[in-house]
Amino acid sequence: MIEARRLHILRAVADHRTVTAAAAALYLTPSAVSQQLTALEQETGHRLVERSARGVRLTPAGEILLSHTNAVLAQLERAEAELAAYGSGEAGEVTVAAFATGIAQVVAPALVRLAGTAPGIHIRVQDAEGDASLPMVLDRQVDVAVAVEYRGAPSADDPRLTHVPLYAEPFDAVVPVGHRLADTAEVPLAELAKDPWISPYPGNPCHDVVVLACESAGFQPRLEHSSDDFRAVVALASADAGVALVPRSALRGMDLRGVVVRPVDGVAPTRRVFAAVRRGAEEHPLIHPVLQALGEAART
């Protein structure tokens, strides 16, 4: 008989590629993870992982078991959802991980809605960049992620997750008030090829948007300054340190006196925001109202 908790460990090892990283995500010791993997191999009668200096990878037998693992764990999530529904599920805690502007844009308004429609649901919010929140859901550290599409992100048909689209928003060009393009109605990105750029750090999904937009315009941006805080990005632009692309919602309420904000000429770079839960958990009586409230907040 294969134990479900060992399947959780197998998937964590497959996701994180090392026993140490998987152990940290699951709040276990590396030795405990190794012991559980060994026990799982004994249960199945197959070698499931191969270790090397670069980490851990699944054997062909491990890949077969992983494909069934995703289905089994999703079904267990559905079972928990139905049992919670049977027990009314009117009160409990749901943890949501979201990036800062996502919290302002949809999470905080969703909390207001839930206070009126589902007062028994207590929401605990954690600030996490879009690329960090999805692993937190998969590792069961949080229940819901509000995340951004990025290169290498799990796709919408990933068997481990259920995606709920929320909203899409363009990036605007931010240039110093004295910039040569400050008086244009729209900024052609190709005209910024020789400028210094201010961008989020690599790994931040918005960094990918900036780089891909510039590459599509025919150049590699000269990234001189880095910050994941868009207030800092705008402050640097106002100090004539460079130019930037910033999501439109992140500019709301900022001091923009030293910069000019203009739409991008042509097809604007866009970030697409979605909510994600472990597949099968979307009908949980605590999580389903949260997803509904996030969707309503996004639509308004």
Q: Is the pLDDT of residue 65 over 70?
A: yes
Q: Is the pLDDT of residue 185 over 80?
A: yes
Amino acid at 275: A
Judged by phi (left if over 0) then psi (alpha if -120 to 50, else beta), residue 45 lies in: left
> Rounded CA gap, 280 and 254, in Å?
40
> Rounded CA gap, 126 and 26, in Å?
18
Pick from 152-156, 234-238, 281-285 the range whose average pLDDT is largest.
Answer: 234-238
| CATH code: domain of residue 231 | 3.40.190.10
Query: How far from the centroid of its chain's Cα atoms is residue 214's Cα?
Result: 23
Contact by Cβ (8 Å): 18, 55: yes
Same domain? 155 vs 233 = no
Give the pLDDT confidence of 205-260 residue by residue, as tens digits.
889 899 999 999 999 999 999 999 999 999 999 999 999 999 998 998 899 999 99
Question: So what's the pLDDT on residue 75?
Answer: 84
Overall number of domains in the chain:
3
Same domain? 266 vs 175 = yes
> Rounded CA gap, 56 and 47, in Å?
12
Same domain? 190 vs 261 = yes
Confidence at 3, pLDDT banded by 50, 70, 90? confident
Same domain? 242 vs 283 = no
Mean pLDDT of the chain: 90
Task: Provide, rounded to the nearest whole percent, the portion of the chain with pLDDT above 90.
Answer: 53
DSSP code string of 12-57: HHHHHSSHHHHHHHHT--HHHHHHHHHHHHHHHTS--EEEETTEEE
What's the predicted TM-score (pTM) here? 0.70
Question: So what's the pLDDT on residue 162?
Answer: 95
Same domain? 33 vs 111 = no
Same domain? 199 vs 289 = no
- The domain containing residue 69 runs over which residues? 4-83
> Rounded CA gap, 212 and 151, in Å?
10
Same domain? 155 vs 286 = yes
Residue with tokens 């240039």: 175
Residue with tokens 């069934």: 68
Same domain? 195 vs 248 = yes
Confidence at 86, pLDDT banded by 50, 70, 90? low
Among the candidates 61, 83, 105, a domain finishes at 83
Same domain? 124 vs 202 = no
Same domain? 186 vs 64 = no
